[in-house]
Amino acid sequence: MTRATEQAIQIVVDADGIATLTIDLPGRSMNVITPALTAELAAAVDRIAGDASIKAAIITSGKPAFIAGADLMDIVNFYGSGASGPELMREISRYSGVLRKLESCGKPVAAAINGTALGGGLELCLACHFRVLSNDPKAVVGLPEVQVGLLPGAGGTQRLPRLIGIQPALELMTQGTHVEPEKAKALGIVHALAPAGDVVSVARRWLKEAADPVQPWDKKGFRWPGGAGALHPGAQQTFMAGSALVADRTQHNYPAPIAILSAVYEGSIVPFDTGLKIEARYFTSLLLDPVYRNMTRTLFINKGAADKLVRRPAGVAKSKVTRLGMLGAGMMGAGIAYVSARAGMDVVLLDTTKEAADKGKDYSRALLQKRVDQGRTPAAEMDAILARIHPTTDYADLAGCELVIEAVFESRDIKADVTRKAEAVIPETAIFASNTSTLPITGLAEASKRPGSFIGLHFFSPVDKMPLVEVILGRKTSGEALARALDYVQQIRKTPIVVNDSRGFYTSRVFMTYANEGMALLQEGVVPALIENAGKQAGMPVGPLAVHDEVSIELSAKIYQQTRADLGDRYTGPSAIAVALKFVEELDRKGKKYGKGFYEYPKEGKKFLWPGIAAVYPPAAHQPGVDEVKKRLLYVQAVETARCLEEGVVTEPADADIGSILGWGYPAWTGGTLSFIETVGLKAFVAECDRLAAAYGPRFEVPASLRERAARGEPFYPAHGTSRSAA
Ligand code: NAD
């Protein structure tokens, strides 16, 4: 059979009447479910059902992965499209309907899953009567829709629990877990494992020897594994515990996990086809919820574009760092050396003493040893990575480095000194980057002979875990330096955002408003437990006082003093800086690393709020409601971001949104600091800020550009789509 180029499904029928459907989307590196693929699949299913010469079918993929899921680009535009609920439901039920037809067509169908099958890809497999999966550990399966604020909408919430039981299915679906082949087999998600090259022949053997064209749930007398039903004690317990766990984990900020629990519960007490309708209703309600729009837009579409270097200037040849110079082998330098060596680079790790440089390398050794012990990294790979890290005190070793990153002490003089020493050795063409967290890049670049090649690469701690790098442009940084710095960030598989120079850049500046608002609340006499719980209930990873202890209250005091020294007395600092100064200077409670701050850190047991706070900031007679405190903590960060946009520190809304979620844990349900403003509604946000500013101070005053934007009714993102697409 010849294949039309625009077709995504190739069908070949062999002499035994077995039709092999090979899915291979033209022009795409991954198979994803699109309306066009759904239509082709529908036609293929009709053919399988209607063509008497076809006795059975195999579904496989022509790409290394099976199907990565739905094309999120397609479905992100559902939100706010103006389509009514019933229209949306009809649209999204199409694919689910095709799968139901496939599994009930009367002929056996086997899924030969040659690689990763996620979301709608796995749902297609679940609608087949037999599943054989590649045994390559990278060939994962799962229903990760919850991670973008959705639920599996093509039968996943109905088939998976009927297949493997309610509890394991809920665990996988409410967390969006990727399951490796061995576990998928053990759980019963697939029937068999085989090398990727053999999955089709294993499927064929099943069709010839043991084929059964009826799904378990379509058989008379079907029983749910582990039990189900309104009166089944085990099932009831699972739903009760599941609801409590989900509430604890999501603080009711995310509708999708609750919808999954509901779809499974309701589906478990009705016939299968009714269950599919219930699932479609919940799916539609999620599509109409801004949380889904927010998460999909920021965490998948715009993050995906950032990972593909959407901000990279055109016309600069693609570059690759083979030898990296790392100045300073402390906490950050050691972490950057580790991720770079893991990405295949040779790393010259320089510090003032050989002991300090060696200690930096030991950090990689410890991390790798842990991975080896867990069986996640082969010992030989550990040796190879370590062999690439060269500890030294000699600047001459930096010869040949394409990129040098400095992470020495946060002192202008020391940074200027190491810049000059390194530039004396490195090639003319090398890029020099600073990992400073507070010092403006333009000022640091004054020490450089080549300020055009000087750039900020701001990492987050711990470097091996934190996914973001904030790339900072100094006034003289060239487009080539930006392009090459971005190429490096891609090499170490992190997500870059690009911002302009300013004090605290974007992430530190906005993040500190959260810590500062915590202090402002404390100063007003709001009880610390209310402040901390409100932060967590809003969706922040930790309360503002706890996080301030972690970054150290001392650092806040130091930054304030340094800024005042730089800008003079007209700089008054954050509104409640007096709290930090009191804790550092009067109370000698400087933060977690000193063992005491807003919290006590006992040697044994958990940290707890320092009881002495009540004597320093006595609780006010009237305490605000938790919603007001939550609002202050989220709004103060969003309004500061709007200021960054007005000042040109941030130029792309997507950078602001991605940076806030990946950089300091602004809640994912908001879609990021600017998406949060859109979610509230621009006009409503401005009006609420006016109230907050009158009540609590000018830090809530919105910048003029936001007020004007609100008056124009112009969102940050055009037409509910993305802000940009990858080049
Ligand atoms: P650190 O104190 O752990 O490490 C600094 C290292 O630099 C030490 O090993 C020190 O011996 C070395 N050093 C000092 N002077 C040197 C010199 N002249 N030549 C070579 N090495 C020298 O500090 P850190 O936390 O790793 O921070 C380093 C830089 O990264 C600072 O600019 C800091 O602001 C920035 N930063 C820190 C964090 C964080 O969370 N700690 C996050 C982002 C950025």
Same domain? 217 vs 94: yes
Q: Is 316 inside any structural domain?
A: no
Same domain? 268 vs 375: no
Same domain? 151 vs 252: yes
Confidence band, pLDDT 50/70/90 cuts, at residue 79 = low
Distance, CA of 333 to CA of 415 (rounded, Å): 14
CATH assignment at residue 346: 3.40.50.720
- Does the beta carbon of 346 lie inside 6 Å of ligand 1? no
Within 10 Å of residue 712's Cβ, how many Cβ atoms? Answer: 9
Same domain? 491 vs 543: no
For tokens 């009809």, what's the residue?
A: 90
Instruction: Provide the 3-class DSSP secondary structure of residue 685.
Output: helix
Same domain? 516 vs 614: yes
Percentage of residues in the chain with pLDDT exceeding 90? 90
Same domain? 589 vs 484: no
Domain boundary among 504, 533, 556: 504
Distance, CA of 449 to CA of 475 (rounded, Å): 15
Domain residues for 345?
323-504
Confidence band, pLDDT 50/70/90 cuts, at residue 572 = confident
Q: Is 166 inside any structural domain?
A: yes
Within 10 Å of residue 271's Cβ, how many Cβ atoms? Answer: 9
Same domain? 240 vs 361: no
CA of 660 to the centre of ligand 1 (A): 23
Instruction: Provide the 3-class DSSP secondary structure of residue 658.
Output: helix
Distance, CA of 141 to CA of 187 (rounded, Å): 12
Catalytic residue set: 458
For tokens 């010849």, what's the residue?
A: 2
What is the pLDDT at residue 580? 97
Distance, CA of 411 to CA of 309 (rounded, Å): 31
Same domain? 385 vs 532: no
Distance, CA of 403 to CA of 325 (rounded, Å): 6
CA of 290 to the centre of ligand 1 (A): 41
Count of alpha carbons within 13 angstroms of residue 144, beta-carbon side: 21
- Does the beta carbon of 392 lie inside 6 Å of ligand 1? no
CATH assignment at residue 177: 3.90.226.10
Residues counted in the chain: 727
CA of 436 to the centre of ligand 1 (A): 8
What is the pLDDT at residue 718? 80
The stretches of 133-187 forming alpha helices (DSSP H) are 156-164, 166-175, 181-187
Within 10 Å of residue 205's Cβ, how many Cβ atoms? Answer: 17
Within 10 Å of residue 245's Cβ, how many Cβ atoms? Answer: 16
What is the pLDDT at residue 121? 98
What is the pLDDT at residue 31? 96
Residue 693 CB-density burial (10 A; 0-12 exposed, 13-18 middle, 19+ buried): middle
Q: Is 299 inside any structural domain?
A: no
Q: Is 314 inside any structural domain?
A: no
- How large is the average pLDDT for residues 540-554? 96
> Which residues neighbour 126 within 8 Å (Cβ) at sequence distance 6 or greater?
155, 156, 159, 160, 163, 189
Distance, CA of 421 to CA of 444 (rounded, Å): 14
- Does the beta carbon of 439 lie inside 6 Å of ligand 1? no
Domain boundary among 504, 537, 569: 504
Confidence band, pLDDT 50/70/90 cuts, at residue 571 = confident
Measuring from atom 9 of ligand 1, which residue has the nearest CA? 330
Same domain? 31 vs 160: yes
Measuring from atom 31 of ligand 1, which residue has the nearest CA? 410
User: Which pTM value belongs to this model?
Assistant: 0.91
Confidence band, pLDDT 50/70/90 cuts, at residue 84 = confident
Q: Is 21 inside any structural domain?
A: yes
CA of 97 to the centre of ligand 1 (A): 58
What residue type is 7 in one-letter code?
Q
CA of 310 to the centre of ligand 1 (A): 30
Q: Is 237 inside any structural domain?
A: yes
What residue type is 652 in one-letter code?
E
Q: Contact, 350 vs 404, CB < 8 A?
A: no
What is the pLDDT at residue 358? 98
Q: Report the domain count for the chain.
A: 3
- Does the beta carbon of 167 lie inside 6 Å of ligand 1? no
CATH assignment at residue 533: 1.10.1040.50
Domain boundary among 474, 504, 534: 504
Same domain? 214 vs 328: no
Measuring from atom 14 of ligand 1, which residue has the nearest CA? 408
- Probe target for ligand 1 pocket from 338, 353, 397, 409, with the most ligand atoms within 8 Å of CB: 409
Q: Is 394 inside any structural domain?
A: yes
Model confidence at 291: pLDDT above 60: yes
Same domain? 645 vs 513: yes
Closest listed residue to residue 529, CA positions, set 599, 606, 622, 583: 599
Same domain? 150 vs 192: yes
- How large is the average pLDDT for residues 282-302? 93
Instruction: Report the atom number in ligand 1 closest to the C-alpha of 406.
Output: 29
Distance, CA of 709 to CA of 703 (rounded, Å): 10
- Does the beta carbon of 335 lie inside 6 Å of ligand 1? no
